[in-house]
Structure 1
Amino acid sequence: MPPLFAIPFPAIDPVAISISGVPIVKWYALSYIAGLVGGWFYARRLVAADSLWGVVKRPKLGDVDDLIVWVALGVVLGGRIGYVLFYNLPMYLDDPAEILAIRNGGMSFHGGFLGSIFALLLFARTRGLNGYTMLDLAAVVVPIGLFFGRIANFVNGELWGRAAPDFPYAIVFPTGGDVPRYPSQLFEAVAEGLLLFIVMAICVRRFGFRKPGLLGGIFVLGYAITRTFCEFFREPDPQLGFLFGREVGALGGGITMGMLLCVPMAIIGATYIVLAARGVTRPRHPEVEVQAEAGQI
């Protein structure tokens, strides 16, 4: 029997659309679509706002439309490769065909993050845009995808939290045993998604895109902090467990892979905040970029 005060997991079908019992579309896929479409819509509004750009060359609305495809590929390929390398390499070495079986799950945010950066920088190079600026634009809209992605994790009943017998809103997940657990997916949706979205929205209104690299640095540092905090509530991947230690902090548990991967993110984010604030990342000849944007050269 489940514990007396635990909340039973809501019976949500992970398949959003099916025909004659055949799964067509899962909520997880819809979360990716919602994040990409929401980010695309918001990015177009930001690009159209003259007051945010100053002398920095901005992408055209058509560039934003094309960029969505590049980012989607970067996220999916990077996320899958990152999961294979960071979280379950021995299994995939034993059965390489499983690497292509994305339908079975297995995506890494950190891998998707690196894949999207590569896609953004490559896109910026092909369009003659400032790479830092494109990263800044992505940084403002990414929390939308993070929010929907974590909600989809909850719907799937995956990536659940650590045991929480005294937490009043603990949930017994179908695959988590007869144990009340933190709904860590919802914690991440709020922290990495909603909270970061609000922070980035405030920052873009305050600073705009006039200091290339600043917004990207704020997002990367902010994600590292919020993800590390949420990792104290999240059960580590079973094939990895705790990498170091067993009792760290009031919530218990040691260092997880998620925490470890956030360390370089925090360092990189803080570095780019400092460089952008000092003007190191600004274009050397902004007047040339303004003329190019106006079609004069």
Structure 2
Amino acid sequence: MDNFIFWWQTLPSRMDPVIFTVGNFPVRWYGMMYIIAFGTVYLLTQYRIKSENLSYSPAFAGDVLTWAIVGVLLGGRLGYLLFYSFPEFIANPLGSIIPFSLSGGSCSFSGIAGMSYHGGAIGVIIAVWLFTKNQKKPFLTTIDLFIVSLPLGYTFGRLGNFINGELYGRVTDAAIGMHFPMAPGNELRHPSQLYEAFFEGIFLFIILWTLRKKAPYPGFLSGLYLFGYGFVRFFIEFYREPDAHLGFVFMQFSMGQLLCLAMIAGGIGVMILCKGLGGKVASSQ
């Protein structure tokens, strides 16, 4: 048992975030997890379309996800800069967004340092709204189609954070704690990335997947997702280390918790609004 505990607690130091390198370009697990996540959502959505005899073309899921990928990348990066690193954004608006470094007359890929889930969610909502408006499709029905699979895809994103050794938890004396090389000090810390992968991912996926055929009106599943994600993450944030440059932004609440409270309120608002309109919001898009 002691050997297993030692293996568990020192696991982060033995994980390499780089899968392999092509020339000078490293292929990282974090980026690969994004690909797996979108692939998971795509396949599950295609399964829904076929098994539930939904009136969507075979190419529909791919078209929507293409727009969603742009939304999550732009929204995630902009959200991080606005919510977590506003001074950096003001100092260098363009340079802080694009993943390329220009120096000495050469251009090199510098990567995207910092992504916000809440910004990514807003970006996806805007992207899907623009897509459905362009294609004259019902917005809420389209969101509901994808939203039940999203948590399972999100699980892989948090696993990517775990492999990177980032977004680690607060200090703990419990045996479940781990030593994260990027964390200050050598104390055990909660593997909060794994908590999020399970509760915001697998747990929420099971709930939404179970209810996918029982939604009483368009928008219900989307509202439930917003509420459910915000609710579970709000409590997981008590185990996650706040961003060092922000700390607690209001009383003992982190920025993530404040955004989750807004998300909870938004989820409740969506469900109430859509129920009150009897689903007419979807058909009017």
TM-score w.r.t. structure 1 length? Answer: 0.83
Identity %: 36
Which of 87, 91, 108 matches 2:88?
Answer: 91
Opposite residue 168 of structure 1, the aligned amino acid is A
Opposite residue 45 of structure 2, the aligned amino acid is A
The residue correspondences of 1:105-144 to structure 2 (distance < 5 A) are 105-144=113-152
The residue correspondences of 1:172-251 to structure 2 (distance < 5 A) are 172-176=179-183, 177-207=185-215, 211-245=217-251
User: 2:147, 2:16 → 1: CA distance?
Assistant: 32
User: 2:282, 2:15 → 1: CA distance?
Assistant: 54
Q: What does the per-residue CA deviation read over 1:2-41, in whole Å, with 9 as the maximum and x for residues that have no partner?
A: xx97811341111112146x44311011111001111011
8 Å Cα contact 1:75-1:116 kept in structure 2: yes
Q: CA deviation at 1:167?
A: 1.0
User: 1:213, 1:14 → 2: CA distance?
Assistant: 38
User: 1:168, 1:100 → 2: CA distance?
Assistant: 41
User: 2:256, 2:44 → 1: CA distance?
Assistant: 28
Secondary structure of the 1:25 match is: strand
User: 1:285, 1:95 → 2: CA distance?
Assistant: 42
Opposite residue 43 of structure 2, the aligned amino acid is F
Q: CA deviation at 1:279?
A: 4.9
Opposite residue 138 of structure 2, the aligned amino acid is N
1:13 to 2:16 alignment: yes
Q: What does the per-residue CA deviation read over 1:259-288, in whole Å, with 9 as the maximum and x for residues that have no partner?
A: 1011221111112222334453237979xx
Aligned to 1:25: 27
Q: Which runs of 5+ in 2 are unaligned?
A: 100-109
Q: What does the per-residue CA deviation read over 1:148-201, in whole Å, with 9 as the maximum and x for residues that have no partner?
A: 00000000000000011x211111100112111000000000011111111110
Go from structure 1 to structure 2 and tell me whether the alpha carbon gap of 1:137 and 1:45 turns closer, same or farther (over 3 Å shift).
Answer: same
TM-score w.r.t. structure 2 length? Answer: 0.87
User: 1:105, 1:144 → 2: CA distance?
Assistant: 24
User: 1:90, 1:45 → 2: CA distance?
Assistant: 44
Opposite residue 26 of structure 2, the aligned amino acid is I
User: 1:213, 1:104 → 2: CA distance?
Assistant: 32
User: 1:272, 1:99 → 2: CA distance?
Assistant: 31
The residue correspondences of 1:30-179 to structure 2 (distance < 5 A) are 30-50=32-52, 58-96=55-93, 97-101=95-99, 103-164=111-172, 166-176=173-183, 177-179=185-187
8 Å Cα contact 2:138-2:283 kept in structure 1: no
8 Å Cα contact 2:13-2:179 kept in structure 1: no
User: 2:128, 2:141 → 1: CA distance?
Assistant: 10
Q: CA deviation at 1:139?
A: 1.3
Give the count of matched residue pairs.
267
User: 1:199, 1:205 → 2: CA distance?
Assistant: 12
Go from structure 1 to structure 2 and tell me whether the alpha carbon gap of 1:285 and 1:18 turns closer, same or farther (over 3 Å shift).
Answer: closer
User: 2:49, 2:214 → 1: CA distance?
Assistant: 15
Aligned to 2:104: none
8 Å Cα contact 1:15-1:23 kept in structure 2: no
User: 2:51, 2:224 → 1: CA distance?
Assistant: 21
Deviates more, 1:123-132 or 1:106-115: 123-132
User: 2:165, 2:131 → 1: CA distance?
Assistant: 36
User: 1:34, 1:142 → 2: CA distance?
Assistant: 12
User: 2:283, 2:257 → 1: CA distance?
Assistant: 40
User: 2:209, 2:200 → 1: CA distance?
Assistant: 14
Deviates more, 1:138-147 or 1:187-196: 138-147
Opposite residue 238 of structure 1, the aligned amino acid is A
Q: CA deviation at 1:50?
A: 3.6
